[in-house]
Structure 1
Amino acid sequence: MDMHPSFIEEFHQIYSEISSKKAIFRTIGTLKELRENAAYWVEGVITDVEIDQEFCYLACRICGKRIEEVDAKRWCLHCQEFTFTKIYRYNIEIVVADETDSVKMILWNKASQKLLGEPAEDVLSVYGDTARVMPDDISSKILGKGGLFEVIVSSQQQHVDSLNVSRLTIDDEIKDVYTMRNYPAPCESTT
């Protein structure tokens, strides 16, 4: 698969952040206790994939949100418009673990596409666009993969049931930079 230009740009952004030590790393155990609005990176391994739920959905071409089929037409509640194009986006729930704990994370379209290496439309072209439950061979591609996950923690959260992944990297080059830069232990403050 050729790298999409946006993935190449994101690679350089992440590489720059991590190599300059601007990224803030935390353990999963520490993340569950934080109550401040911020983005944090966590190093972990995918230990489980939610396969009984939809892993992709029909999306609005304008806003990217889920659309409903009404009388054989596609209606976006957010845009208040009908759409005629079929666009599919990922929504994959995974469990990521580190040496301290584990947590459910939600991979939206861009992160999922980066992890799987192909857009949702391509996956559905193989399995049919009615396949909503993740096929076993797709989940087996994900299980056991290690990476760096950037998650958003909100002060509004009373407790952390799941975290949204804003960016991820499974690139060995970036993981090596993280290891070589001698970051402070993830639970220590970086300020």
Structure 2
Amino acid sequence: MGEFVSGLDDLFRGVKPDGLDVESLLSNLQQFTGAAAQSAQRMAIETADGWSKDDLAHVWVNAQGVVVQVEFDERLFGGATSAEAGAAVVQATQAAAAAMRARTDEYQAALWQQVAQFGVQPINQIDEFKALQPQVPLSAPGSRERRAVADELRRPPGEREPEAQDRWPAIRDTD
């Protein structure tokens, strides 16, 4: 994934220890932002795929985890019920989304590793921002897990159970 990010190493090229060369800094910053934008666009056109456990469904997702293609194994599809086919698509989609998330995490880690040399911490590692990232359930609409979270969110913050967050569903990439 390192090929997605270039230009950051040279961001402070021309900055002297005894003083700041603002013109060089701005020029290098412009070069970096251009390279970062191009890298982000390359990442945006990536896809990832996943299979259901029974190999019935094969799904591709885009960089946002949106399904862009679905294929079925013709040999297995004929004997599958609609519920089995649906479950296979869900499994394959979740596998593909997990693969895309891993790629995105790898891409972001490479970027933040380069940015860290300038003392900048990734936003997802700052305690104040960690609470802003919700845990997204993989369960179906109307499931017990989703209802429990919705019920808890309807309660005023002072009345919520302290350990309620521990019961909330979390994304799991494996069974």
TM, length-normalised to structure 1: 0.22
Higher strand share: 1
Q: Which has the higher contact order (CA 8 A, sep 6+)?
A: 1
Higher helix share: 2
